[in-house]
Amino acid sequence: MRTQVAIVGGGPAGLLLSHLLHLHGIGSVVLERRSQEYVQQRVRAGVLEQGTVDLLRDVGLGERMLREGEVHRGVYLQFDDERQHIPFQELTGRAITVYGQQEVVKDLNERRRRDGGQVLFEVSNVAVHDVATDRPFVRFTFDGVDHELHADFIAGCDGFHGVCRDAIPAGVRTIYERVYPFGWLGILATVGPSSDELIYANHASGFALHSMRSATLSRFYLQCAPDEPRDAWPDDRIWTELRTRLGTPGWTLHEGPIIDKVITAIRSFVAEPLRHGRLFLAGDSAHIVPPTGAKGLNLAVSDVDKLAEAIADFYRTGSATGLDCYSAACLQRVWRVQHFSWWMTSLTHHFGGPNAAFERRLQRSQFDYLRSSTAAATTLAENYVGLPTR
């Protein structure tokens, strides 16, 4: 088999890259390890930056998102039972949209299908070869048959647990990593939201986040121990903790059946550079942020936007300048977002240890500063809604 760009991974990064390349008249094949049903049901991100929404709309993927996504003009920050509003629209003129990642993935798959795109699901034994030459290829098994996919470029969009990152030799690659002493328990409940905006809460018992998906579906997260089994969190315990951590006088939490429950480890991670020869990493395969800033999906979109432009420029003009600048251009945004995500995490979570009491006083002080200073609130707001993408 031969294509122009072999894309490993059919998550948001891989599928969007394939679509953007198609708009430039460039062929690609997407190789995805899981089934289509699995990737479309996997509950993950929910918050889209304005720049992500604008890009998806401009490339013809906005129809359902603009109809069903909910525009939010701010968020609440809470310290114990004191809640304050950060008005994004007022401070920055920009907003966010709540639209589930699996809906974005459904829209992308549907559009790739309609445009005759090649997305192969349930492939196995994926391995990339000869990436440092100008004849790279991917070996994989599909439907019980071994294949070789030859391409001009390989895009590693295979997430944090993929195989592409490891194709960059250890001597070339530098890993920057921070692992946090807690995880997130995420749940989806069939009950209407209890708030008009997301609530990020720092409570003496730990962090909690109230998000939503629709008028009948709410999403919640609780800081938990990183290695806790899901069984340690029966539904009663979850609702008790959410009531405690999100509670303010006069406010009621609406409770309903829990239909999804997952514990995720929290980490900051960057692999530099994002390119080796003809292999380009994009999205979670190159970097992970703690989810507190709601940035991972948005960063993946920003990467593939740059990559598609660079590849298109190469085919159009023969110039490799865009490809040569890709890694550095992405890393500039990656580190801004790393800082913001770490900062939001540090503001709202309990890290424990001997400095815990000191750190909580610092968090309290920062919370008060955000309330009293428009400059401080604007810094949070402009990072949260997303800095300009280009």
Site for ligand DHB in 262-291 (CB under 6 A): 291
- Candidates 26-34, 42-50, 240-248, 331-339 — which segment interacts with ligand DHB by CB under 6 A? 42-50
Longest dimension (CA), the chain: 65
Q: Which does 292 bind (CB under 5 to 8 A by kind): ligand FAD, ligand DHB, none?
A: ligand DHB
> Which string of x and - marks every residue 209-248 that binds ligand DHB (by CB under 6 A)?
x-x-------x-----------------------------
Phi, psi of 351 (to 5 degrees): -95, -10
Q: Taking the complex as a whole, how short is the minimal distance between the CB of residue 157 and ligand FAD, in angstroms?
A: 5
Q: Contact 299/289 with Cβ under 8 angstroms?
A: yes
- Asked if 283 touches ligand FAD (CB under 6 A), the answer is yes
Shortest-Cβ-distance residue relative to ligand DHB: 46
Pick the binder of ligand FAD from 78, 223, 298, 383 (CB under 6 A): 298
Residues contacting 18, CB < 8 A, separation 6+: 5, 7, 28, 30, 112, 117, 119
Which of ligand FAD, ligand DHB, none sits in contact with 300, Cβ below 5 to 8 A by type? Answer: ligand FAD
Task: Compute the distance between CA of residue 246 and CA of residue 243 in angstroms, rounded to an integer.
Answer: 6
The Cα angle at residue 196 between residues 366 and 200, in degrees rounded to 5: 30
Q: Which stretch binds ligand FAD (CB under 6 A): 18-26, 152-160, 345-353, 370-378?
A: 152-160
Q: Please, what is the minimum distance in Å from the beta carbon of residue 345 to ligand FAD?
A: 13
Q: Among 14, 46, 69, 159, indicate the residue that binds ligand DHB (CB under 6 A).
A: 46
| 203-230 CB burial, b ≥16 within 10 A, e <16 | beebbbbbbbbeeebbbbbbbbebeeee
Helices 374-385 and 321-348, axial angle in degrees (round to 10): 130
In the complex, the smallest distance separating the C-beta of residue 287 from ligand FAD, rounded to whole angstroms, is 9
- Residue numbers annotated as active site: 72, 200, 291, 295, 384
Among candidate residues 129, 157, 133, the one with its CA nearest the CA of residue 274: 157
Q: Report if residue 341 touches ligand DHB, rule: CB under 6 A.
A: no
Under 8 Å between Cβ of 47 and 173:
no
ω before 273 within 30° of 0 (cis)?
A: yes
Note whether 48 binds ligand DHB by CB under 6 A: no
The reply on whether position 32 binds ligand FAD by CB under 6 A is yes
Give contact residues for ligand FAD (rule: CB under 6 A). 8-14, 31-34, 39, 44-47, 101, 123, 126, 157-159, 161-163, 184, 186, 264, 283-284, 291, 294-298, 300
